[in-house]
């Protein structure tokens, strides 16, 4: 079983925890454990038990294998550096132009993250159908106008997009996006029935 510091390192690496690596299992750590449990279909009790331990180590190891570092299940300096050094360019993207991700209010804001675009590129390729980005980057003002959008939405940091794919239902698209969450490349995906039509949200760490 991982110790508290290792748990915090891993949850921080995955974007669930923003606090200090102090080994103290306070509210921030417990909240992060709960969010991780929710995203991976575990019972959401905030208690770091055997099942949560196994899943967290598995997710980190998968990430480490992708990054080409030793898969020891603990996101230490080597793992963090490997991720930060992995640079994509628009030349690696087949189906999208950067302009497709600009804020829809017309302000020109566009800080879209290529790791996210790469995922969308793969989804576009998988279905062989046009993928529309209904919302990519958002400036704070435009984000504030969205229904139910969090003030700290990942759209603001260029790490989220809302997408639809021609001839693909939102449940099928959601299942596809969930594969990226399961393998650790995406952080979160969702859709709802009230105002999202065939649109699915996906974001990265
Ligand atoms: Zn804007
Ligand atoms: Zn969204």
What are the per-10-residue average pLDDT scores of the chain (205 residues)? Answer: 96 90 94 94 96 98 92 91 80 95 96 94 96 96 89 92 96 95 87 84 93
Per-residue model confidence (pLDDT) at position 171 = 94
Ligand 1 centroid to residue 185 C-alpha, Å: 27
Per-residue model confidence (pLDDT) at position 29 = 96
Structure tokens at 27: 């509210």
Question: Which 8-state DSSP code applies to residue 138?
Answer: -
Q: Where in the chain is the domain with CATH 3.30.1380.10?
A: 90-203
Whether residue 135 contacts residue 162, with contact meaning beta carbons closer than 8 Å, is answered with: yes
- Please report which ligand is nearest the Cα atom of 155: 2
User: What is the CATH topology of the domain spanning 90-203?
Assistant: Muramoyl-pentapeptide Carboxypeptidase; domain 2 (3.30.1380)
Whole-structure pTM value: 0.62
CATH for 4-85?
Answer: 1.10.101
- Sign of the C-alpha dihedral, residues 117, 119, 122, 128? negative
Ligand 1 centroid to residue 199 C-alpha, Å: 20
Kindly state the helix (H) or strand (E) to which residue 135 belongs, with its residue range.
strand 131-135
Ligand 2 centroid to residue 167 C-alpha, Å: 20
Report the C-alpha gap between 105 and 145 in whole angstroms: 10
Per-residue model confidence (pLDDT) at position 131 = 98
Report the C-alpha gap between 16 and 12 in whole angstroms: 6
Per-residue model confidence (pLDDT) at position 142 = 96
- Please report which ligand is nearest the Cα atom of 102: 1
Ligand 1 centroid to residue 137 C-alpha, Å: 8
Ligand 2 centroid to residue 68 C-alpha, Å: 30
Per-residue model confidence (pLDDT) at position 73 = 97
Report the C-alpha gap between 167 and 189 in whole angstroms: 19
- Residues lining ion ligand 2 (Cβ < 5 A) are 160, 162, 201
Report the C-alpha gap between 77 and 79 in whole angstroms: 5
Kindly state the helix (H) or strand (E) to which residue 163 belongs, with its residue range.
strand 160-165
Q: Where in the chain is the domain with CATH 1.10.101?
A: 4-85
Per-residue model confidence (pLDDT) at position 140 = 94
Structure tokens at 179: 């594969």
């Amino acid at each position: 079983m991982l110790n508290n510091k290792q748990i915090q390192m891993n949850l921080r690496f995955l974007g669930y925890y923003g606090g200090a690596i102090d080994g103290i299992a306070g509210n921030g750590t417990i909240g992060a454990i709960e969010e991780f449990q929710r995203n991976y279909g575990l019972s959401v009790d905030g208690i770091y038990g055997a099942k949560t331990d196994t899943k967290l180590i598995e997710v980190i190891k998968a990430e480490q294998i992708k990054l080409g570092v030793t898969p020891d299940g603990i996101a230490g300096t080597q793992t963090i550096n490997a991720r930060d050094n992995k640079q994509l360019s628009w030349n690696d993207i087949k189906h999208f132009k950067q302009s497709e991700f600009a804020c829809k209010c017309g302000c020109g804001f566009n800080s879209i993250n290529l790791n996210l675009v790469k995922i969308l590129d793969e989804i576009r390729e998988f279905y062989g159908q046009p993928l529309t980005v209904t919302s990519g980057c958002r400036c704070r003002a435009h984000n504030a106008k969205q229904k139910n959008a969090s003030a700290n939405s990942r759209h603001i940091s260029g790490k989220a997009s809302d997408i639809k794919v021609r001839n693909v239902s939102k449940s099928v698209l959601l299942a596809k996006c969930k594969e990226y969450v399961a393998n650790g490349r995406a952080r979160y995906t969702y859709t709802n029935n009230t105002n999202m039509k065939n649109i699915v949200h996906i974001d990265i760490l």
